[in-house]
Amino acid sequence: MDEKLPNSESLNPQAGGTPAEKPTVDADVPSASEKGLAEAGGQAAASQPKEKLTSRKAAKGVKAANSQTTAAPALQTASQAKDQSGQKQGFQTEEERPRSGVTTLLMEILHWMPSWFVSMVVHAVALLVMAMITIPGPVQDVVQQLVVAPGQNEQLEEIEELLTEPPEDINLATDLSPVEVASNIESSQDISPFNDDTAAMASFELNPIGLEHAPQTDLLASVGALSGDAFSGRGSGKERMVRTAGGSEGSERAVALALKWLADHQMPDGGWSFEHQKAGGCNGQCRNPGNLSDARSAATALALLPFLGAGQTHREGQYAKNVRAGLYYLITNRMKISPEGGSFLEQGGNMYSHGLAAIVLCEAYGMTHDKVLAAPAQQAINFICNAQDPVGGGWRYQPRQKGDTSVVGWQLMALKSGAMSYLQVPKVTIQKAQAFLDSVQANDGATYGYLDPGNGPGTTAVGLLCRMYLGWDKNHPGLQKGIQQLSNWGPSTDNTGPGKNNFYYNYYATQVMRHWEGEEWKKWNAVMRDYLVKTQAQKGHETGSWFFENSSDHGKERGGRLYFTAMATLILEVYYRHMPLYRKQATAENFPLD
């Protein structure tokens, strides 16, 4: 990545400037305005006069000065009159005290004023005083609503600046600045409206979610960046987990090469495209672009996930600038805000795109606790909850359609990432998702179909991983039989497993086997790991990427080389990307169903 620091125009696709070869983002340094405010605040504090108590000596000096004056003011206190005369001792009677002209006038007015008028004035003053007294109600620790407003360059720079702030202890109720959405964000028009019955039900059941129920400070305070159980493998314990879980020097080298390829194919606006040849330095050198050119959210999210999986965030790591630019692009250019939440629906991607982008925002927030990501991440979760089929409990291409297992997998992974990041996921959403999985399972939950009960390899891998995350323990008969089925199939390669090079299946099945561990995992990993290391491109500009000509994967034509590269990298990061579920009871804890 170019070390030159960009302005907002370099990341804004609407800007008219010449695109840089690679997107760049401001370094993590305080802005000039921040320094100026800090310096001004220090000077103001230093110049503030300190109050001192008046000593008796100073008071006597004032009295002496007053006693030397030749003309007393019209209004004097009894002590001042005493000091000036030097003759009268003790207290004076009312008749003896000198009255000013103002006092005499007030007494005359009160003497002749009717009593009812005096009473009215007194009561009016009393009512006025009482009206000015306020009793504060209980203050609820809430997060402010996400603001949707036309974006200006200054607003975009502000978001970028927030994304570069150093980690800090935050109070989301008071510190979360609203996210200004860029002017090229359209209002969501892809959402089918609620009918009366659905609206009433959803309004009641989904009411607990929203920004007003975003994570609370006391909960976040106990979780440090990259130290929580969910993402701890991506931090300092990464090397140990590679060794103990079955990774190798070759697999880590492959990940490093893949991240470089992804970084080299980032678009000038900060996002990614399945048409990777359009990226700055490629110029057609890499073959096999995908044809989903409009699915920029899906491409960007899919490219960001391997960086996050390797422990790279927008605050630290070799590729911090790339991650920062990608998050910036998603939030300011792709997220559409509606009463349903923050949507990433787009042509060609639909709820697939949304699920991927939601995972990215939740993981980035969970790894850094950056307050500027809290609202977008929660909004993305809210949209998933509102897009759920209110009858069957699943998700499909458009909101509230009857679900299919493939789309359900991405949405549940996003909800799980949100729960692991301490965002709010309502129980009713998870309960309905459980019901959907029940409707497509076969063989006591060992296999799963697409729309109905079945035993497709890809959908079975998705269903089993969802069951693991939703709380099935290792003693569940359906899970045990499902593990045996995946083990019998094996990874999908040129000459093993179901189909040929089906990386959608490989991605989900590898996670299932990693969580299961044991001999089944060792057998699976030996084949999958070595196959990926062997098939990675090692020549020219394609170095670090993957593409499989004979693949039966639907992503081959749509996502092209970028799709295979991202999925293969995520598979090789399985050793540390998520902690094993059954080594620590961490399944039902984050998805409470009671």
Task: Provide, rounded to the nearest whole percent, the portion of the chain with pLDDT above 90.
Answer: 56
Residue 129 counted as domain residue: no
Question: What CA–CA distance (Å, rounded) separates 498 from 581?
Answer: 26
Domain count, the chain: 1
> For residue 2, is pLDDT > 80?
no
At residue 137 the predicted structure's pLDDT band, cuts being 50, 70 and 90, is: very low
Residue 388 in tokens? 């759920």
> For residue 65, is pLDDT > 60?
no
Range of the domain at 328: 143-181+252-572
User: b/e per residue, 218-253, with b = 16+ CB within 10 A?
Assistant: eebeebebbebebbbbbbebbeebbeebbbbeebbe
User: Residue 38 to residues 32, 158, 227: CA-CA distances in angstroms?
Assistant: 10, 18, 31
Residue 536 in tokens? 């990675």
Question: What CA–CA distance (Å, rounded) separates 318 from 568?
Answer: 20
Residue 525 counted as domain residue: yes
Q: In sequence order, which ranges of 451-517 are alpha helices (DSSP H)?
A: 457-469, 477-489, 503-516
> For residue 287, is pLDDT > 50?
yes
Strand 336-338 relative to strand 447-448: parallel, antiparallel, unpaired?
unpaired
Contacts of 567 (CB under 8 A, 6+ apart): 302, 503, 504, 506, 507, 555
Residue 591 counted as domain residue: no
> For residue 428, is pLDDT > 90?
yes
Query: Mean pLDDT, the chain, as a whole number?
Result: 75
Contact between 476 and 488 under an 8 Å Cβ cutoff? The reply is no
Q: What is the structure's pLDDT at 254? A: 99
Question: What CA–CA distance (Å, rounded) separates 594 from 591?
Answer: 9
Q: Is 448 helix (H, G, I), strand (E, B) or coil?
A: strand
Residue 73 counted as domain residue: no
Residue 47 counted as domain residue: no
Question: What CA–CA distance (Å, rounded) separates 468 from 514?
Answer: 11
Residue 405 counted as domain residue: yes
Degrees, nearest 5: CA angle 226-230-233: 60
DSSP 332: I
Residue 498 counted as domain residue: yes
Q: What is the structure's pLDDT at 402? A: 97
> For residue 76, is pLDDT > 70?
no
Residue 568 counted as domain residue: yes
At residue 230 the predicted structure's pLDDT band, cuts being 50, 70 and 90, is: low
Choose between 16 and 594: higher pLDDT.
594
- Domain of 385: which CATH number? 1.50.10.20
> For residue 316, is pLDDT > 80?
yes
**Around 321, how many Cα atoms within 13 Å sit in the side-chain half-sphere?**
22
